[in-house]
């Protein structure tokens, strides 16, 4: 039996993705009708382009960051009655076909989350520097969260409604990726890793994280530990 | 004598500020008051700093005061950073409610 695609919501945080977002939304909607784009106060036409392409649109009044945008999307999708929520990048590096596989595997396994792994799957056009950076980040995250993952900074995930409502993201910026993993550990959620393909393009490389961002992520994680 | 009066007035303003922060005293406030009180002592008995400096292995009292000042400042910056983060979280929740109240369905 093919999985039901109507109860799955695809959440796409977007910041200044006006050139790419329509193509991404149309591509996702070939397979999943429910798409919500969170425009994180872009300066360009991201929100309008996404809406024309058939997405639900949430506009942050001020720029809050990718983590905050995901949390806004989670709350919207949960209210809309989603059973599954996928997190998907706006820069076109993910393939929506992978979400079908993730949904199948998640349903089969009965786990709370399916995490995409490019190191179990494929990458197209990844630079050696990026591979090293990601490997180091994965090692660091595995040590700090006590989980054992092959790829921990992958924006492609599939969550059950239960997992999305338990994981309340407080990390507004990039550290949300680690926060999700820490949350898995803290709330004893179960997860599976699913091989996915990431396609690096000139465009996605420009939008991607840099070496310096690693320091920002570490700082945010330490600061969060000191807050109540 | 003149500088000691000026510094004492400055420290008194600090005491007033710290006391006005809250009605019930927190550990941070008591700590701040302790720092200010030692400020009074060192302003009026500057040689004391030399005694303490040689006790802990620092050359001059003035150097010791500088080092302690730097450490205290770093602690203040950290506290400020955490306060700002708390405010950012509140702001995020507010912005999120506004966003969700104005959601747009596809045409």
B107 domain residue, yes or no: no
Whole-angstrom Cα distance, residue B42 to residue B50?
10
Residue range A198-225, pLDDT digits in tens:
988 877 777 667 777 778 888 888 888 8
Whole-angstrom Cα distance, residue B96 to residue A73?
10
Contacts (Cβ under 8 Å, ≥6 apart) of A136: none
Q: How many domains does chain B have?
A: 1
Q: Mutating which of A15, A60, A171 best tests the B interface, going by the most B Cβ atoms within 10 A?
A: A60
Residue A129 distance to chain B (closest CA, Å) = 32
Domain range enclosing B12: 2-102
Q: Judged by CB atoms within 8 Å, which residues 73-92 of B form the interface with A? A: 78, 81-82, 85-86, 88-89, 91-92
Which ipTM score applies to this complex? Answer: 0.85
Largest CA-CA distance found in chain B, in angstroms, rounded: 78
The length of chain B is 107
Q: Which residues make beta-bridge pairs with A35?
A: A10
Whether B96 and A68 lie within 8 Å, measured CB to CB: yes
Instruction: Name the residue facing B86 among A38, A72, A227 (closest C-beta).
Output: A227
Residue B6 distance to chain A (closest CA, Å) = 37
CB A14 within 8 A of CB A40: yes
Residue B84 distance to chain A (closest CA, Å) = 11
Tokens of A177: 């990726």
Work out the angle at residue B6's Cα, subtended by the Cα atoms of residues B3 and B7, and round it to the nearest 5 degrees: 85
Whole-angstrom Cα distance, residue A37 to residue A28?
11
Mean pLDDT of A60-74: 97
B92 domain residue, yes or no: yes
Q: Is the pLDDT of residue A1 over 60?
A: no
Q: Is the pLDDT of residue A88 over 90?
A: yes
| Backbone phi, psi, residue A114, to 5° | -115, 125
Nearest chain B residue (CA) to A36: B105
B68 domain residue, yes or no: yes
Residue range A131-176, pLDDT digits in tens:
888 888 888 888 888 888 888 888 999 999 999 999 999 999 888 9
Whole-angstrom Cα distance, residue B26 to residue B28?
5
Q: Report pTM.
A: 0.84
The Cβ-side half-sphere exposure at B93, using a 13 Å CA radius, reads: 7
- CA B96 to each of CA A99, B23, B37, B93: distance values in angstroms, whole numbers, following the listed order: 27, 33, 45, 5
What does DSSP assign to residue A16? S
């Amino acid at each position: 039996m093919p999985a039901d695609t109507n109860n799955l919501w695809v959440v796409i945080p977007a910041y200044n993705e006006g050139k790419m977002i329509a193509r991404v939304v149309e591509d996702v909607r070939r397979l999943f009708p429910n798409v919500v784009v969170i425009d994180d106060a872009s300066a360009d036409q991201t929100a309008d382009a996404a809406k024309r392409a058939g997405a639900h649109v949430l506009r942050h009044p001020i720029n809050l960051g990718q983590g905050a945008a995901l949390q806004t999307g989670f709350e919207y999708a949960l209210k809309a009655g989603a059973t599954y929520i996928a997190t998907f990048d706006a820069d076109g590096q993910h393939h929506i076909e992978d979400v079908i596989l993730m949904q199948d595997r998640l349903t089969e396994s009965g786990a709370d989350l399916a995490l995409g792994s490019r190191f179990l799957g494929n990458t197209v056009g990844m630079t050696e520097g990026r591979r090293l950076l990601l490997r180091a980040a994965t090692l660091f995250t595995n040590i700090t969260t006590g989980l054992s993952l092959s790829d921990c900074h992958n924006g492609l995930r599939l969550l059950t409604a239960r997992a999305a409502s338990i994981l309340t993201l407080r990390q507004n910026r990039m550290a949300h990726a680690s926060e999700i993993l820490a949350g898995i550990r803290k709330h004893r959620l179960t997860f599976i890793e699913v091989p996915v393909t990431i396609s690096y393009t000139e465009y996605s490389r420009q939008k991607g994280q840099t070496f310096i961002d690693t320091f920002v992520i570490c700082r945010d994680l330490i600061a969060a530990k000191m807050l109540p | 004598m003149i500088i000691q009066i000026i510094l004492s007035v400055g420290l008194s303003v600090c005491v007033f500020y710290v006391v006005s922060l809250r009605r019930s005293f927190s550990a941070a406030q008591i700590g701040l008051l302790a720092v200010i009180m030692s400020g009074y002592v060192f302003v009026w008995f500057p040689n004391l700093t030399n005694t303490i400096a040689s006790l802990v292995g620092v050359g001059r009292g003035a150097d010791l005061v500088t080092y302690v000042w730097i450490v205290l400042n770093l602690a203040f910056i950290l506290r400020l950073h955490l306060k700002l983060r708390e405010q950012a979280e509140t702001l995020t929740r507010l912005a999120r409610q506004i966003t969700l109240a104005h959601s747009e369905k596809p045409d």
